[in-house]
């Protein structure tokens, strides 16, 4: 992941408006877009990354409702203002809803990442809080099948899962550190909580910090 200190954030309104004007002119291609196999996928990504190389996008599947065009910074918090500025001035795109940053989807899903299958039902977490820095939250995440040789893949897969489950902004601002370990023999006795309860824990934690 790119070092946030190396990110040059340009909020140039002319560049932002030029992107949207181009997309409006190509709406028929956007409407037909369903997968990365479509040549327009790369074309749209290239145009988006003219604004910043750290920007990406996702689209929801076609259906009866308006589709979502999600502009994402892949968790790079310094790009959040750019994404939010872009979506705030998005023109009307009939049949589409522009969305700033990945929304929270909850934990009812599993993902495959570099050969790993990550399922919240097989994952636990332990909060790590330093009394001298109560605003900083670390998570020790216990994953079934964890091994040291793939530690980086496990960590990156979990960060992707957090982006999807909590929403991109919450994942970047509410969780400061993630370390991965094997599931202990008795997670409850070791102070671990089911991963699917992380959203509830974060809400409880916020309420404690604001009182």
Which residues does residue 142 pair with via DSSP β-bridges, in sequence order? 124, 181
Instruction: Tell me, yes or no, if the pTM score tops 0.75.
Output: yes
Asked if pLDDT for residue 198 goes beyond 60, the answer is yes
How would you list the strands of the sheet with 133-143, edge to edge? 177-182, 133-143, 123-130, 193-194
Q: Are 69 and 93 in contact (CB under 8 A)?
A: yes
Asked if pLDDT for residue 4 goes beyond 60, the answer is no
Read off the pLDDT of residues 23-59 as tens digits, 9 standing for 90 and up: 999 999 999 999 999 999 999 999 999 999 999 999 9
Buried b (16+ CB within 10 A) or exposed e, 165-182: bbbbbbbbebbeebebbe
Give the span between the Cα atoms of 211 and 90, in whole angstroms.
37
Read off the pLDDT of residues 125-175 as tens digits, 9 standing for 90 and up: 999 999 899 899 999 999 999 999 999 999 999 999 999 999 999 999 999
Give the span between the Cα atoms of 88 and 80, in whole angstroms.
12
DSSP E strands, 56-173: 56-59, 67-72, 96-100, 111-113, 116-118, 123-130, 133-143
3-state secondary structure of 44: helix
């Amino acid at each position: 992941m790119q070092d946030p200190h190396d990110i040059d954030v340009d909020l140039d309104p002319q560049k932002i408006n030029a992107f949207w004007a181009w997309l409006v002119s190509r709406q028929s291609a956007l409407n037909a877009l369903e997968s990365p196999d479509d040549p327009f996928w790369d074309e749209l990504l290239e145009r988006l990354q003219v604004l910043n190389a750290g920007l990406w996008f996702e689209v929801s599947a076609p259906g009866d409702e308006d589709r979502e065009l999600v502009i994402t910074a892949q968790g790079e918090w310094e790009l959040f203002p750019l994404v939010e500025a872009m979506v705030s001035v998005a023109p009307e795109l009939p049949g589409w809803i522009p969305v700033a940053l990945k929304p929270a989807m909850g934990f009812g899903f599993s993902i495959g990442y570099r050969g790993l299958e990550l399922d919240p039902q097989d994952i636990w977490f332990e909060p790590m809080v330093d009394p001298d820095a109560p605003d900083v939250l670390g998570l020790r995440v216990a994953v079934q099948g964890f091994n040291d040789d793939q530690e980086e893949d496990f960590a990156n897969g979990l960060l992707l899962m957090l982006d999807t489950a909590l929403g991109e902004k919450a994942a970047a601002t509410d969780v400061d550190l993630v370390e991965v370990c094997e599931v202990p023999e008795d997670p409850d006795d070791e102070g671990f909580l089911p991963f699917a309860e992380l959203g509830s824990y974060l809400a409880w934690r916020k309420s404690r910090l604001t009182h």
